[in-house]
Amino acid sequence: MFLDWGSITSYYGLLLQGAWLTIVITLASFTLAAIVGVLVAAARASAVAPLRWLATVYVEVLRNTPVLLQIFIVFYGFPSFGIRMTAITAGILGLGFNVGAYLAEIFRAGINAVPRGHREAATALGITPLQSFIWIVAPVALSKVFPAVTNMFIATLLGSSLLSVIAVPELTGQTNEISARTFLTIEVYSFSTGLYLVLTLGSALILGMLGRRLFPARARG
Amino acid sequence: MPILTLRNIHKRFGSLEVLAGIKLAVEAGEVIAIVGPSGSGKSTLLRVVNGLEPFEQGDVELDGQSIRAPGNLAAIRRQIGMVFQQFNLFSHLTVGENVMLAQRLVLKRDAKAAEERARVLLARVGLEDKWNRYPSQLSGGQQQRVAISRALAMDPRVMLFDEATSALDPELVGEVLAVMRSLADSGMTMLVVTHEMNFAREVADRIVFMDQGRILADGTPQAILDAPEDARIQQFMRRLAER
Amino acid sequence: MDFTPVWASRWLILDSFATTLTLSAIAVFVGTFVGACVTLLQLIGSRLLNVVLRAYIELFRGTPLLMQLFFIYFGLPMLGLDVDRFWAAFVAISLYTGAYVAEVLRAGVEAVPRGQTEAATALGLGFGQRLRYILGPQALRVALPPLVGVYVAVIKDTSLATVIGYNELMRRGMELVLQYGRPLEVFLVVGLLYFLICFPISKLSEWLERKFTRDAGGTEP
């Protein structure tokens, strides 16, 4: 077996570009997912029954079908309704909608974990429900589920590789491309595997530090 | 005119009538201890007073303003402070932030004014040095004193205490009762649900004895505690004495 | 909407669905076996072995399954190992599953209070006995609900085998789309099939979670 590490040096730039696109896609999808998650969690707690049902169906369908399929439906299926978009947009939407379903459930669990007394004390102090949610319920809930949210961020990062299937040149896409062109398969895949590990372990490290800073143990109930 | 009036309050949980026609008038500056066996509706009554608990019939009035009139609930809540059995401090906020939050959100005080007020109140309960601590770093007694400061920071006209010392270790009860006593001495109107009979006897102007959602007796501590007429009150006092 | 092409291909679709189920079942069994072995070896706890096992878990949980599939399918032949599509999919998904199973089992083991093992040791129980009568049953109660959750993820993730041309349900869907167009109809049917198998298993996981929480005397959130 002969590994030619020297020859792939000229492709580092392309692979790093791919990694950068992976980061951008991850951040965009996760932002979308957070918004979807908050809205769906709110809908599931709504007093309006049809809204609750709709949110439940959303969560169950998105969590029980493959995310790749969801991306395909957005990219290949939506044009049937006259909705056309680039592959990268479709991928971000598909991934974001999917992760949003998981985040909705995580947020819901977090809100349920906020002690009832917190809300009662707020009410007794004359704090309005909206203020109570923003200043008390949301931060306490987030502190309880921050590790789960961190896991979902990493799942989003890993899931972004699926965009390569619809020809988005993110890290996995670039890796396939270069591997097919150069036959330096082992070398290229090893390098990209290393990049992914840096990204996932790095995210875990940064988010872990952020979590300890935002929600120190002493500030948890 | 009484500052707080409860008019014939009825409340049901399903088929159970927890409050069966409560009538009570509280004069400004009065300290009323509400006692009685558990499940008699004492805590529910307190929660009705500041609108935490909906009720089917009757009315609560603060200064003649009905809690049922549109827009009044928020205004009345703002003027009634509440202290809970489980303290209910906000676990993600420091002591200082706990006392400042509602001042800023509800009374719209600026940060400086809110902090000033909070520091004065915390000093009064002997906790000014705990400003940057989180609730989890305090003893139960300290947490409850912070909770009292938090309620007082809203400059309430009436304070409600819902078994404020029941969740505390015995050695921590005294420090909280001392704060409540000095508050009573300062002229605050107080409704105190408690099992501390010595406190009720020494601090309260009136004792209200509740059983099964009704007020059985309402009078001076001496009348209720030393010479109770009702057999159920006598039985309750005997059980307390045996404990 | 026109489902005629889909209906005409119903046997092909069901045939691929069977392939997906077979691949899932094999991956679940082998993955569980691998994960259990890893956990056992970690319990025995030689330091060097633990480093290796930890590296395996981090590698497979820290990189996208897609990369693992490509690496194994395109990479192993470069090392002189001839792998066909089935073997590549089977090996990649099983190793990937094993890493997640190991992580779930480890969390289960860690949830058992230390005093349990100490008490058992003090009573003179050997390693095997402790595992079988004390540690195992308690750890499994904690680990079973998330373990079933991992199985749902595995079923959905077999859809990724499509990228190396393995003819499972997702691949069949794409082929039908290429042949007849009608992406929305095809993908809806494909999604329905995934849902039919994943939804009950998800519910089983949630039911187990509630049951064990209740049995443990805990309160439901």
Does the beta carbon of A193 lie under 8 angstroms from any beta carbon of chain C? yes
Q: Which residue has the higher pLDDT, C219 or C15?
A: C15
User: What is the signed CA dihedral for C81, C82, C84, C89, rounded to 10 degrees?
Assistant: 0
Does the structure show a pLDDT above 50 at C220? no
Residue B201 half-sphere exposure, CB side, CA atoms within 13 Å? 10
Residue with tokens 């993908």: C187
pLDDT at site C217: 57
Half-sphere exposure of A2 (CA within 13 A, CB side): 4
- For the segment C86-126, what is each residue's pLDDT rounded down to a tens digit? 999 999 999 999 999 999 999 999 999 888 888 888 887 88
Q: What is the pLDDT of residue A134?
A: 93
- CATH at A30: 1.10.3720.10
pLDDT digits (tens, 9 = 90+) for C29-55: 999 999 999 999 998 878 999 999 999
Percentage of chain B with pLDDT > 70? 100
**For C62, which of A164, A179, A200 is closest by C-beta distance?**
A200
- Which single residue is written with the structure tokens 């400061």? B149
pLDDT, mean over chain B: 92
Q: Is C70 within 8 Å of A189 when comparing Cβ atoms?
A: yes
Q: How confident is the model at residue A10 (pLDDT cuts 50, 70, 90)?
A: confident
Range(s) of the domain holding residue A194: 5-220
Q: Whole-angstrom Cα distance, residue C5 to residue C187?
A: 12
Highest mean pLDDT out of A33-42, B14-23, C115-124: A33-42
Q: Quick: pLDDT tens for C206-218.
A: 999 998 887 765 4
User: C58: which residues sit within 8 A by CB, 6+ positions away?
Assistant: A197, A201
Burial class (CB in 10 A: 0-12, 13-18, 19+), B187: exposed
Distance of CA B6 to CAs B24, B37, B77, C25, Å?
A: 5, 21, 15, 67
pLDDT at C221: 38
A182: exposed, middle or buried (C-beta count within 10 Å: 0-12, 13-18, 19+)?
middle
**Sign of the C-alpha dihedral computed for residues C149, C151, C156 and C157 taken in this order:** positive
| Per-residue confidence (pLDDT) for residue A184, from 0 to 100 | 87
- CB contacts of A61 in chain C (<8 Å) are 191, 195
Secondary structure (3-state) at A128: coil
Question: Average pLDDT, stretch A18-26?
Answer: 97
A35 in contact with chain C, both atoms CB, cutoff 8 A: no
Residue found by looking up tokens 């489902």 in the block = C3
- What ipTM describes this predicted complex? 0.90
Q: Give the mean pLDDT of chain A.
A: 94
Contact B91 A126 (CB under 8 A): no
Is C41 within 8 Å of chain A by CB? no
**Which chain B residue has the Cα nearest residue A119?**
B88
Query: Contact at 8 Å (CB) between A196 and C63?
Result: yes
A55-64, C25-34, C49-58, C178-187: which range is least confident on average?
C178-187
pLDDT at A221 over 80: no
State what percent of residues in chain A have pLDDT above 90: 84
Number of H helices, E strands in chain C: 11, 0
Domains identified in chain A, total number? 1
Which residue in chain A is spatially nearest to C164 when comparing CA positions?
Answer: A165
Residue C110, C-beta contacts closer than 8 angstroms, at least 6 positions apart: none
Interface with chain B: mutation pick from A111, A125, A133, highest number of B CBs within 10 Å: A125
CB A95 within 8 A of CB A67: yes
Residue B145 contacts residue B179 (beta carbons within 8 Å): yes
Q: How far is B89 from chain A (nearest CA, A)?
A: 7
User: In chain B, whose CA is at the least distance from the CA of A123?
Assistant: B52
**What structural domains does chain C harbor?**
4-215 (1.10.3720.10)
Task: Report residue C175 CA to chain centroid gap.
Answer: 26
Chain A's closest residue to B151, CA to CA, is A125
Question: Is it the case that residue B39 has pLDDT exceeding 80?
Answer: yes
Q: How confident is the model at residue B136 (pLDDT cuts 50, 70, 90)?
A: very high
Place of tokens 């309960």: B125
How many angstroms away from the CA of A41 is the closest CA of chain B? Answer: 22
Looking at residue B86, the DSSP 8-state letter turns out to be T
Q: Chain A: nearest CA to C130, how far in angstroms?
A: 31
Q: Determine the average pLDDT of the residues in A75-95.
A: 94
If you write DSSP's letter for every residue of C77-89 in order, what string do you get? HHTT----HHHHH
Query: Given this model, what pLDDT does residue C219 score?
Result: 45
**In chain A, residues 111-150 whose CB comes closer than 8 Å to chain C:** 112-113
Give B211→chain A minimum CA distance, Å: 25
Contact A127 B50 (CB under 8 A): no
Task: Name chain A contacts of B100, Cβ cutoff 8 Å.
Answer: none
Q: Which residue of C has its CA nearest to A167?
A: C163
- CA–CA dist A57, A80 (Å, integer): 23
pLDDT band with cut points at 50, 70 and 90 for residue B22: very high
DSSP run (H or E) holding A154: helix A138-159
Q: Give all strands (DSSP E) within B74-128, no chain letters.
A: 80-83
Candidate from C75, C160, C202 with C-beta closest to A64:
C202
Using the beta-carbon criterion (under 8 Å), do A143 and B86 form an inter-chain contact? no
Q: How many CB pairs under 8 A join A and B?
A: 83
Residues of chain B contacting residue A219, judged by C-beta atoms under 8 Å apart: 91-94, 134, 136
Instruction: Take residue A124 and report the two structure tokens written for it.
Output: 């007794």
Strands B31-35 and B206-211: parallel
Q: What is this structure's pTM?
A: 0.87
Number of H helices, E strands in chain A: 10, 0
In chain B, whose CA is at the least distance from the CA of A221?
Answer: B91
pLDDT digits (tens, 9 = 90+) for A182-197: 888 889 999 999 999 9
